[in-house]
Amino acid sequence: MRATTFTNAAVLALASQASAETIKIDVGANGLTFTPDSVTAKVHDILEFHFHPINHSVVMGDFANPCQPAKTGGFFSGFQPVSSGEADQVFQVTVNSTDPIFFYCSQNTFSHCISGMSGVVNANSSQTLDAYQKAAKSEKSASNPQEVFGGRLVTSGSSTTTSAAPAATTSCTVSSKSGGNGYKRSDTCSGAGSVSASIGIVGVFTLGMAILLS
Ligand SMILES: *[C@@H]1O[C@H](CO)[C@@H](O)[C@H](O)[C@H]1NC(C)=O
Ligand SMILES: *[C@@H]1O[C@H](CO)[C@@H](O)[C@H](O)[C@H]1NC(C)=O
Ligand SMILES: *[C@@H]1O[C@H](CO)[C@@H](O)[C@H](O)[C@H]1NC(C)=O
Ligand SMILES: [Cu+2]
């Protein structure tokens, strides 16, 4: 009997110590979405955002103002461009309350937030992701704070050696993949400059849109 009581107490103690969870959320892994886009979290849990191609961000917003940064507090990961695989940094945000937290991607190329790239933590019956995403469709553009804040950018994995000074030039091969929404492409870039890459990408996007709209 004593042994059983002790075991139960020990299990309970372990359970409460281990109760803060890390919740992984993929950004852009399945098109313009967060996966999962609706999670339940407890105080002290950590939201860990993993960034997929091509160039996404995560911003905390207010339910009442879709695609705009939260008026008080919040977080912004910065843009995390990556041409293949996963960005080498993940963004970790600590959950401090069980009130709903709405978040979105502020990339305006292809209107990510407006086309539904948003998610929620602890939605309730009056503040739903469905309502947020419907209201987002009426927004003209998304915005984000100037600086990364409200979370930690943490380098994930250790296999890549990126401590060397970035190369001064960028070379990219951009190829169009005729995927469903014209968004998915494959491109390979190296180097730090992004101007020529951006121009190339704009060209491909414009072509993609022209095809989509024709
Ligand atoms: C990523 O997107 C942001 C916002 O549109 C832009 O300022 C930045 O130059 C982009 N980065 C790359 C490498 O394309
Ligand atoms: C949903 O959350 C908001 C923000 O915390 C709160 O004002 C509202 O009362 C909640 N609604 C319900 C039905 O719990
Ligand atoms: C929780 O608090 C920390 C520390 O003040 C802050 O950095 C973080 O952004 C907060 N989390 C949310 C979801 O606002
Ligand atoms: Cu995005």
The string of pLDDT tens digits covering residues 70-109 is 999 999 999 999 999 999 999 999 999 999 999 999 999 9
Which ligand 1 atom is the nearest neighbour of the CA of 197? 14
- Tokens 């209201």 correspond to 135
Shared domain for 23 and 75, answered yes or no, is yes
Whether 111 is covered by a domain: the verdict is yes
Q: How far apart are CA 182 and CA 208, in angstroms?
A: 6
Shared domain for 61 and 143, answered yes or no, is yes
Q: Which of 5-14, 17-26, 181-190 has the highest mean pLDDT?
A: 17-26
- Smallest CA separation from ligand 2 atom 9, residue: 126
Shared domain for 99 and 75, answered yes or no, is yes
| Residue 76 belongs to domain with CATH number | 2.60.40.420
Whether 160 is covered by a domain: the verdict is no
Q: How far apart are CA 51 and CA 57, in angstroms?
A: 8
Q: How far apart are CA 58 and CA 100, in angstroms?
A: 16
The whole-number pLDDT of residue 172 equals 30
To test the pocket of ligand 2, the residue of 127, 128, 129, 132 to mutate (highest count of ligand atoms within 8 Å of its CB) is 127
Domain count, the chain: 2
Q: How far apart are CA 167 and CA 160, in angstroms?
A: 16
Range of the domain at 42: 19-155
Q: Could you tell me if the CB of 127 is within 6 A of ligand 2?
A: yes
- pLDDT of 50 strictly over 90: yes
What tokens appear for 88 in the block? 């080498």
The string of pLDDT tens digits covering residues 110-129 is 999 999 999 999 999 999 99
* More confident: 98 or 210: 98
CA dihedral 193, 113, 51, 45 (to 10 degrees): 140
The whole-number pLDDT of residue 168 equals 33
Mean pLDDT in residue range 160-178: 33
Which ligand 3 atom is the nearest neighbour of the CA of 75? 9
- pLDDT of 152 strictly over 90: yes
Which amino acid is present at 139? E
Shared domain for 127 and 151, answered yes or no, is yes
Q: Output the CA–CA distances (angstroms, integers) from residue 190 to 15, 43, 64, 171, 179, in the order listed.
A: 46, 40, 40, 5, 24
Band the pLDDT of 53: cuts 50, 70, 90: very high
Percent residues over pLDDT 70 in the chain: 64
pTM of the model: 0.73
Shared domain for 119 and 192, answered yes or no, is no
Whether 10 is covered by a domain: the verdict is no
The whole-number pLDDT of residue 156 equals 79
Shared domain for 133 and 86, answered yes or no, is yes
Percent residues over pLDDT 90 in the chain: 64
To test the pocket of ligand 1, the residue of 27, 52, 55 to mutate (highest count of ligand atoms within 8 Å of its CB) is 55
Q: How far is the CA of 17 from the centre of ligand 4 (A)?
A: 35
- pLDDT of 153 strictly over 80: yes
Q: Which residues are registered as beta bridge partners of 172?
A: 189
**What is the residue-averaged pLDDT of the chain?**
76
- Can you give the chain as a three-state secondary structure string? CHHHHHHHHHHHHHHHHCCCCEEEEEECCCCCCEECCEECCCCCCEEEEEECCCEECCEEEECCEEEEECCCCCCECCCEECCCCCCCEEEEEECCCCCCEEEECCCCCCCCCCCCCEEEECCCCCCCHHHHHHHHCCCCCCCCCCCCECCEEEECCCCCCCCCCCCCCCEEEEEECCCCCCCCEEEEEECCCCHHHHHHHHHHHHHHHHHHHC
Which residues line ligand 3 at a C-beta cut-off of 6 Å? 73-75, 93-96, 101, 150-151
Nearest ligand to the CA of 108 is: 1
The whole-number pLDDT of residue 188 equals 33
- Smallest CA separation from ligand 1 atom 1, residue: 55
Q: How far is the CA of 118 from the centre of ligand 4 (A)?
A: 9
Mean pLDDT in residue range 30-38: 97
Whether 11 is covered by a domain: the verdict is no
